[in-house]
Amino acid sequence: MATDTLQAWVVSMNMGLGHMRASHPLQDIAYGGVHLLGEEGFSSDIEVKNFRKLTKGYEFISRFKKIPVVGALSFSMLDRFLFIHPLYPVKDRSKPNFQTNLLYGQIKKGLGKAFMDKIYSEPLPLVSSYPMPALIADYYNYPRNYCIVTDAEITRGWVPKHPRQSKIIYFASCGRARQRLNQYGIPDERIFITGYPLPKSLLGSEDLDILKSDIGQRLHYLDPGNRFWPLHKLNVAHFLGKKNISFKKERVLSLTYAVGGAGALAEIGIAVAQSLRPLLLEGKMKLNLVAGRKRE
């Protein structure tokens, strides 16, 4: 492909708003746009059907859990499937679990083959905001394979079956995510702590002028009791610049809680609204509740 601009395959999955949001800031380099594994045009017809069954199954259990006894039991089984061991005491947890073995069994049967044929037709770097595309590509020894870790806490399912032989480069959201990757067998040289991807509109210039200004204001809103600033003002000024730490008081504190189409954690939004009710009625705070919806 004759172009001087940086381009890559940018791939996500319809498995949660957070994963797809992480791919959005990379649209400028996304070859052919941001692709979704399991969607038409990027997967075989059989794979599309299987992925849709997987998504619908998760959504059904997420909604079904509200039914007394039976629903709670079904969701607890799913929760157990995604169980994460306590971080401490630190142990080697690189041994593949049921979740990993199940996925690799499907990959051996051909899961993701159409996806691999597609990206091998134009062998650009692959950037995934969900682990499955990266794991499939790693199975096929695809070079320049990068995975954005969108979560602060992750399961063993983010890591290949044989992590020390893998070539996946991970962009970790925070130090804890890096610790988990280490625990699952990924060495430090294949982990970079980058934070969560943000769109350019929230970053500004190369000096990050918009981001620094926003962080400076946000730190004031998050410290109504003025306990943080007397202790850390000099440090904040060093990193953000003096002009960005003066409180403008242009608005009240705003909090946004968003849930995806599955609605798995919708009840948390209700609990948040109830707990913040006095502040909301007094006009000292604003709450935005965002609910994802499905086209059908």
pLDDT per residue rounded down to tens, the chain (296 residues): 334 589 999 999 988 778 889 999 999 999 999 999 988 888 888 888 888 777 776 666 566 566 665 556 655 665 666 778 888 999 999 999 988 998 999 999 999 999 999 999 999 999 999 999 999 999 999 999 999 999 999 999 999 999 999 999 999 999 999 999 999 999 999 999 999 999 999 999 999 999 999 999 999 999 989 999 999 999 999 999 999 999 988 889 999 998 765 556 778 888 999 999 999 999 999 999 987 666 55
- Does this model's pTM top 0.75? My answer is yes
Question: Furthest-apart CA pair in the chain: how many Å?
Answer: 60
The amino acid that residue 197 corresponds to is P
Tell me the two tokens of residue 132: 């499955």
Q: Residue 76 has what pLDDT?
A: 63
How do 169-172 and 191-193 pair as beta strands?
A: parallel
- Measure the CA–CA gap between 23 and 35, rounded to whole angstroms: 9
Task: Tell me phi and psi for residue 58, to 5 degrees.
Answer: -65, -45
- Measure the CA–CA gap between 218 and 238, rounded to whole angstroms: 16
Burial of 218 (0-12, 13-18, 19+ CB in 10 A): exposed
- Sign, Cα dihedral of 181, 183, 186, 191: positive
- Measure the CA–CA gap between 248 and 261, rounded to whole angstroms: 36
Q: Residue 291 has what pLDDT?
A: 78
The answer to whether the bond into 160 is cis (omega within 30° of 0) is no
